Amino acid sequence: MTPHEDAKHSAGAALAALRGWAARRERLSEDRADLMAAAWWSGIRTITDLATAAGVSRDTAYTDLRARGIEPTDRTAAASRLRRFAPLTAQALHELAALSNTVVLPALLTENPGPLAEAAGAVSVALERMADLLAADADVSPDWPVGREELAQELAARLRTALHHAHAVAAESTTRDRLAAQTLGSRMGLFDDGQALPGGVSIDLYWPDGDRSTVRIEHASFTDDAPAGWTLLHSDRAVPELTGVQHLAIQTALETLAETLGRHLHREGKAGDDQATVSPMASTEETAGLVVLDEEASP
């Protein structure tokens, strides 16, 4: 997103937050009643506790509960772990996004908001796109300016942005050794659960000038100089040392690849005379769009 687009979005989000505040003001009693009912069904049956938590009188608590079909004098009704089902609505999510923007936008109006605020900003926009998708499904606007596919793609892009900033938060609060140990523990956990492990991966990178680089991604073992579990890169180009954020991003990509292929092979492939049997310790090699299982490679 360009600086102009960022400024335009910030202005639009600020106005949306103001409109959302006005809409929420009109819905405060309804929202309170919904929350009161959710607390009741979670097992809280003391009216004083409910009224105190909401900052209202006991009479108001009784009224809210009865408005949601609950008779508060019947304390024998079974508690439920889940609130009664209510489908998502575009209006409710738009209001939630507006509330989020009310909190998040001021934290973004600085030169360096920090990764946590950036993640919160991306999640706020993601909430807006979810609401837009629901509105598009409901044909709220017959002249919808953006198609469902574009909305879904932007939702995915915003969530990827949030994930990137979450990785930055995770990396800034620990050391390389701890990140490597966490990766190693996560990999062993996957193996213990019977899931496929991402092994070594080779990927070809094609540059705009027509050049191509091959990068081999592996995990450090206990005999390497790097801590066991750390990401190792080998390439025909010079490879700078990875940062913690880059390590986490690569590991997430590898786990996604292994999970996707593991589910596909588990679902489609059965061991037989005419089918390959894949070791859970096999590595995956991706070259020019072709995925090849390399059973001889170590994880």
pLDDT, tens digit (0-9, with 9 covering 90-100), for 141-170: 444 566 788 899 999 999 999 999 999 999
Considering the domain architecture, whether residues 10 and 146 belong to the same structural domain is answered as: yes
pLDDT on residue 85: 61
Considering the domain architecture, whether residues 84 and 127 belong to the same structural domain is answered as: yes
Considering the domain architecture, whether residues 252 and 125 belong to the same structural domain is answered as: no
Six token digits for residue 214 = 């091959």
Considering the domain architecture, whether residues 134 and 232 belong to the same structural domain is answered as: no
In a domain, 238, yes or no: yes
Last residue within a domain, chosen from 169, 194, 225:
169
Considering the domain architecture, whether residues 36 and 162 belong to the same structural domain is answered as: yes
Distance separating alpha carbons of residues 176 and 182, to the nearest angstrom: 10
Last residue within a domain, chosen from 106, 140, 169:
169
Distance separating alpha carbons of residues 211 and 272, to the nearest angstrom: 42
pLDDT on residue 48: 92
| Ranges in the chain, pLDDT < 50 | 81-82, 140-143, 272-299
Q: End-to-end CA distance of the chain, in Å?
A: 38
Considering the domain architecture, whether residues 79 and 154 belong to the same structural domain is answered as: yes
The tally of domains found in the chain comes to 2
pLDDT on residue 140: 47
Q: Are 59 and 84 in contact (CB under 8 A)?
A: no
Q: In the chain, how long is the greatest CA-to-CA distance?
A: 75
Distance separating alpha carbons of residues 219 and 55, to the nearest angstrom: 55
Range of the structural domain that residue 279 is part of: 178-294
Considering the domain architecture, whether residues 212 and 146 belong to the same structural domain is answered as: no
Task: Please give the backbone phi and psi of residue 204, each rounded to the nearest 5 degrees, phi first.
Answer: -95, 130
pLDDT on residue 153: 93
Last residue within a domain, chosen from 169, 187, 222:
169
Considering the domain architecture, whether residues 16 and 54 belong to the same structural domain is answered as: yes
Cα separations (Å) of 10 from 6, 131, 231? 6, 18, 37
Q: Are 233 and 239 in contact (CB under 8 A)?
A: yes
Q: Are 90 and 140 in contact (CB under 8 A)?
A: yes
Query: Helix 244-268 vs helix 176-192: angle between axes, to the nearest 10 degrees?
Result: 10
In a domain, 239, yes or no: yes
pLDDT, tens digit (0-9, with 9 covering 90-100), for 169-187: 999 989 999 999 999 888 8
In a domain, 22, yes or no: yes
pTM over 0.85? The answer is no
Considering the domain architecture, whether residues 214 and 145 belong to the same structural domain is answered as: no
In a domain, 299, yes or no: no
Considering the domain architecture, whether residues 53 and 111 belong to the same structural domain is answered as: yes
Considering the domain architecture, whether residues 165 and 191 belong to the same structural domain is answered as: no
Considering the domain architecture, whether residues 95 and 229 belong to the same structural domain is answered as: no
pLDDT on residue 87: 80
Six token digits for residue 158 = 């915003």
Q: Are 180 and 248 in contact (CB under 8 A)?
A: no
